[in-house]
Amino acid sequence: MLVSVIIINYNTFQITCDCIESVIRYTKGVDYEVILVDNASPKDNPDEFLARFPGITLIKSKENGGFAKGNNLGIAAAKGDMLLLLNSDTLLTEDSIAMAAAELQRRPDVGALSVRLVYPDGKLQHTARRFRSVRNEVLDLLRPLMMMMPYKKRSALLLNQYFHGNYNTYADWVSGAFMLFTRAALDKRPDKKLDERFFMYGEDQLWCYQFHELGYRSYYLADTTVIHIHNASTAPGKQLQLLRKFLELELKIMEYRTGKNLYYYVFSFILTIKEMLRYYIKIAVFKLFKHRIR
């Protein structure tokens, strides 16, 4: 079994080097190859990666086509039975790739598998999620009541922030920062590649839903942990821009799933009100206590 580790670089030379070094240092229990796709970085010379890591496969994209397109370039060159999309701002601290590959091999019903991701300070990133729905958005609005439920029940029902990431579980979708799937599953897609409709953000949820359409499930592996640097301290103005982008993408995904019908518009109203309210609460907390809520 060969795992093709696909990493996208865009102006993050040292961070990307740290990621590759961690893969080489800790990956022992499985055969692997590293495919680095440079997305036409204007500030980086991609040949410097080869000078430092002569064993990798380097692909120089002629354009910055985004996360999905860059990964598809890597997939086209990959030789592996399993394909791992690994963000350049991740760091392995143990043999996570071998552990994830072994788990995926044991679960032929799984389309996409991810692992426990944490920030550099050790705090959990909530990356095992349910697909959004009117029901789930309403339940999330009732968070104080939900927190009164037994942990196992509420975590199984909603995952995300209700889940402490402390046990292995099926999920509706998992993070694209570390997303492992088989070539066989991807080949069932009509064009045998990842959907490229989103330039950046939202792809992981869309891809997991498309695996779901093919009859696969998503899986969260808590048995191994990967550090994901992921900028969690974005300035308030930038946070609002990201929120608007997030809402746009969530509504596009819901439109893909249901079409533009009454359900879609009810969902759109509830989600927008809920997320804007949450945003202003975060801003108020930051202004009063200088503390950011993730």
- Same domain, residue pair 205 and 282: no
Same domain, 220 and 248: no
Same-domain pairing of 263 and 162? no
| Judgement on whether residues 208 and 245 belong to the same structural domain of the protein | no
How far is residue 179's CA from residue 86's CA, in Å, rounded to a whole number? 7
Is residue 270 located within the same domain as residue 143?
Answer: no
User: Same domain for 24 and 159?
Assistant: yes
Q: Is residue 201, in this structure, part of any structural domain at all? A: yes
Q: Are residues 93 and 175 in the same domain?
A: yes
**Domain boundary residue among 228, 257, 279?**
228
What CATH number has the domain bearing residue 131? 3.90.550.10
Per DSSP, the chain holds a count of helices (H) and strands (E) of: 11, 11
Question: In terms of domains, do 216 and 278 share one?
Answer: no
Top-confidence residue, 162 or 277: 162
- Using the predicted structure, report yes or no on whether residue 275 has a pLDDT greater than 70: yes
Domain boundary among 207, 228, 249: 228
Domain count across the chain: 2
Structure confidence at residue 233 (pLDDT): 41
Residues 127 and 206 in one domain: yes
Q: What is the pLDDT of residues 112-164, one digit of tens each?
A: 999 999 999 999 999 999 999 999 999 998 888 899 999 999 999 999 999 99
Query: Are residues 277 and 151 part of one domain?
Result: no
pLDDT digits (tens, 9 = 90+) for 182-235: 999 999 998 999 999 998 888 999 999 999 999 999 999 999 999 999 764 445
Domain closes at, from 200, 228, 256: 228
pLDDT of 36 strictly over 50: yes
Residue 68 belongs to what H/E stretch?
Answer: helix 66-77
Contact 180, 100 (CB under 8 A): yes
Task: Residue 73: name the closest of 81, 82, 62 by CA.
Answer: 62
- Give a yes or no: residue 245 inside a domain: yes
Structural domain range at position 259: 236-289
- Within 10 angstroms of residue 199's Cβ, the number of other Cβ atoms is 13
294 located within any domain: no
Produce one character per residue of 161-195: b if its CB has 16 or more CB atoms within 10 Å, e if not.
ebbebeeebebbbbbbbbbbbbbebbeeeeeebbb
The pTM assigned to this predicted structure is 0.91
pLDDT digits (tens, 9 = 90+) for 47-58: 999 999 999 999
Sorted by sequence, the CB contacts under 8 Å of residue 12 that are 6+ apart come out as 44, 88, 89
